[in-house]
Every structure is written in structure tokens, then in C-alpha cells.
Structure 1
């Protein structure tokens, strides 16, 4: 079976300062993959590379036969301008832009789909609220509703369960499991190792570069987690920009 996602010696970063070094690997169609690692490990940069926001400094990211409209991206809530005067209904409706176009209008079918997506995440009745009035959990439910509308084959979730209550986490995790059951490919950046061990069969442990990638039980060992922390702590953000084809040292 052809890979849904391939990384071929990928280096990603900003101003020639790599945040992810020389990543190689494949993600199978229908995979449920957790991306874990310390703060600053490069998880968000990797996701931005997958969806095309950040272009590789070197190497290639391949998405097989996927069209850009078949990739859904849920960013961290910190990346959302909550002061922007837009209603919950209209924000969720942006999930249809790739299908209807920016000026495609909002017909009855589209409005019904938005209403169903809001109901699926427990936000019926919030349609006319502005996004700045939402709690953290409500904000995350809204972002999931937008992903639902996109009906994507590849779903990329950046910290989807961060700083939300247990009920919201459980509800949104159920959606992730539903997508997995539908054979969609789901990647999620996560910090909660217990959640990863319980619900994600595959894990990539990242620390600017790959520490381990495979079955979750084999990746999340004490030794690997210690190595990931050491690699991130040893990284010097003030160092001169390195050549993209320079293999990073793991020496402290």
C-alpha cells in the first residue's frame, strides 16, 4: 500500500536555522500517529511543513495522491486571533472555502452542514457568539467543527487537547477515533504520554530530529524520552545557521 505521507531527508526551519533535521519516514494511509517531544522539539514546524505553510530547507514532503483540499489542519489556539470580530458560525464555515471558494456564498446546504458540525461538537446555540467570547474548551470544539466540515483524508492536529477540561478532551478524542475508524490518516502533536499510550498505536518521538518512530510501546521508553530531553537541551538557538545537508550531532 502506497504511503499517505513521506518525509525524504526533510529539514525545516526559519532563516536557515533548522527546527527539524533530516527526517525520513512514511505514514501509511489510515494511520493514527502521535507526534511527541519536549517543547521546542519541532512538532509545530513539522506540521506547518506538511500543510505547506513552511517550505523545506532541504528534502521533500510527499503527500501521495492527495489534493491540498484533502488535508485539514487544526492549529494551536494561540495561533488564532481571538480579537477578530467573526461569529462561531462564520468561522466554522471557513472549513468550506476550499469547496465553495472564498466568495462562494452560503446556501442552505452549506448552512445545514455547518449546523450539523456544530451539533457534533456540542456547540449548538453558539452560532452567533463571537469567537473571542469562547472558553478554551469551546474554542477547541469550534476548531474541530471546522475540521469536520473539511471532510479531509489527512488530518493534522497541533496540540488538540491542550489546556481543556476532561469532558471536552473525551468528546474530541471520540471524534479522532471516529476519523481513524473511517480510515482517515490522523497526526496529532501531544504532550500527555498516558493519552498517547492509551489511544495512539504509533508514535514519532521528535527532538529537532527523530529519536524513535514506531509502535508506541517501543518508542515511549524512559531511555528514549531522556534522550529527547537531552537533545533539545543541547540545541543552541543562537548558533550560526547551519548547512541544510549537515547532519546534526547528538553530542551534548
Structure 2
């Protein structure tokens, strides 16, 4: 399953956060979206899942649809005050099989238990999510992705504010997904994580600076260009006149 960006522009109050981005996330590859703060990385991911509407251009899925996607938002966007158990949360990843109001049978509970064991949380099934550390909660969210069994996995800053041991364990899951032929796209900030686990990188600074093999993308020259592009942005710049507006 490939994701194709076709001249994609996404704006806030008509000022572009992602500007005329085109390219393809390769099928069966692990691709990092890398770039400075304010580069539009999370905006791009949310547009890919349909949470934001493009001003111009398209996101196309070759060989699949939105139903084939597992999406992990940033932890700060998730309300952990609800009285939800670890099992309940992980089981929501089974919605494609059970439906929105379907029950969780014995086989489904076994899948949940297996996923929790895989992420190192055996014995946590009955705990509520508000009692978990950031690292434990992130393991739960990865367990949810495991039971969802999606072909395309989108991760938004999955290792932010997570301890080193948890980060290593979850990065090994990313490696496993790649070996299984799944397509993984992750917004990341850690240069060494990208180089070690992601063969492909999109370097984004609202515009595509470089896209391809990680070693050829994350060069000193490209990183300087990305920083320069973000540094010159200001709130009173001219608005982006899109083709749709002109029509």
C-alpha cells in the first residue's frame, strides 16, 4: 500500500503549513518525516488520515484505503482521565472485525493478551490508563496497533517523553513491521533513530526539501536548507493563492 502526495497544500488561515508537497511513501518501507519544529510534519500526517482538508492537491492510497490505516496521535492529544482499562483501550483496535458496537469474544481477548505480552505489559490488562506512566501508556497504544493488524501504520512523535528502554523496545516493533511488509510512516525528531531504523526519509520544512534514502537526505546541506526555510516564516507573509481559489 503506497501513499501518494499530489501537489498537497494545507493551510491555517490561508498561510501554508504544508506547501505544494508531492511524492510517494514507498510500499513496505519505514519512512521518517523529519524536519525542524514548525515544519508541518504533524499537519501532513493528519491530512493523510483525513483529519485536515487540503487547500489544494490530493492524498491518494494505491492498493488500499483509510480503513487499512492504524494511526497513533501524540500522547498530548489523548484524554487519559477517562476510566478506561488497558484491555478496553487495546480492544478498540479490533473495531474492523467486531464493528463499532460488537462484543469482544474469547479469541479477541486472547489477541489483546498476546499484544500486551509483546509490548511487555503482561499483568496490566485490568489497570486503568490514568494509572500508567508515559512509557507504559505508549506501550498500550502500540499494543492497540498490533491487534488492529493494519497494512499502513502512521505514528506522530511516538517516542516523545518516553524512557529509553521503552523507545528501544517499540523501535524493534517498527523493525518487525517493516520485515512483515507493512508500510510505516513516523514523525520523528531524533536523528539517530531515523538513521538506525528508517531507510527512507522525507525532510520537510513546509515544502519538501529532500525525499529518498535516509543517508542521501539527511546531509548537512539539506538540514541547513530545512532550518533556513522554517526560520524565514512570519505571520504577516502574503497568503498562499491556491489554484482552487483562482478558479
Please give the TM-score of this superposition, normalised by the length of structure 1.
0.92
**Number of aligned pairs?**
244
Report which stretch shifted further, 11-20 or 153-162.
Answer: 11-20
The answer for unaligned runs of 5 or more in structure 1 is 247-252
After TM superposition, the structure 1 = structure 2 runs for residues 146-157 of structure 1, keeping only pairs within 5 Å, are 146-157=144-155
RMSD (CA atoms): 1.5
Alignment correspondent of 1:71: 69
Cα distance between partner residues in 2 of 1:17 and 1:149: 39
2:153 alignment partner, SS class: strand
Alignment correspondent of 1:35: 33
Q: Any runs of at least 4 consecutive aligned residues in structure 1 with deviations exceeding 6 A, and if so which?
A: none
Is 1:159 the counterpart of 2:157 in the alignment? yes
The answer for unaligned runs of 5 or more in structure 2 is none
1:126 alignment partner, SS class: coil
Alignment correspondent of 2:55: 57
1:39 alignment partner, SS class: coil
1:14: Cα distance to partner? 3.2
2:62 alignment partner, SS class: coil
Cα distance between partner residues in 2 of 1:206 and 1:222: 14
Cα distance between partner residues in 1 of 2:195 and 2:149: 27
Alignment correspondent of 1:243: 241
> Aligned in 2, Cα 1:238/1:87: closer, same or farther, shift over 3 Å?
farther
1:177: Cα distance to partner? 0.5
Cα distance between partner residues in 2 of 1:133 and 1:216: 38
Match for 1:101 among 87, 99, 102? 99
Is 1:89 the counterpart of 2:125 in the alignment? no
